[in-house]
Amino acid sequence: MGKFQAVIEALAAGGTQISGGGDVKVYAQSLAQSGSTKLIMVKDVPNHTKYILAVGEGELYDALQGQVEDGAKLCTLTHENRLVLNRYFDYTVPRAFGTQIATIGLGDRLGLASPVISKP
């Protein structure tokens, strides 16, 4: 996990402007904290693999599944880890959009997939 060492140190030090370099891409806007656990999404560029990097301690840290090294936990993007994130970060829980029309999850980002039907 040596390639993520700079990110681990920045997280542990409380940094909010965390950057990668070389073989690591850091998704700075993914930075989140629950209790004493800090999370950030990183990408191992050569392997094209994304991870959640967790630093700290507590229930969230313990609940995430991943490899522990160098004072951090490198967690793969699995369904099990998504469920853990859903418990600690309410904004990650899927929600139905709207209350008066039926919608289905086809990635409609403009809101045009389900037209509003006016009632006479």
Distance from the first to the final alpha carbon of the chain: 63
Residue 52 in tokens? 């959640």
Residue 27: which of 45, 14, 5 has the closest Cα? 45
Helix count (H) and strand count (E) of the chain? Answer: 3, 5
Q: With a cut of 90, say whether residue 85 has pLDDT above it.
A: yes
Residue 9 CA to residue 18 CA, distance in Å, equals 10
pLDDT digits (tens, 9 = 90+) for 57-66: 999 999 999 9
Six token digits for residue 4 = 């993520």
Confidence band for 7, pLDDT divided at 50, 70 and 90: confident
Token digits of residue 10: 């920045």
Q: Per the confidence metrics, is the pTM higher than 0.85? A: no
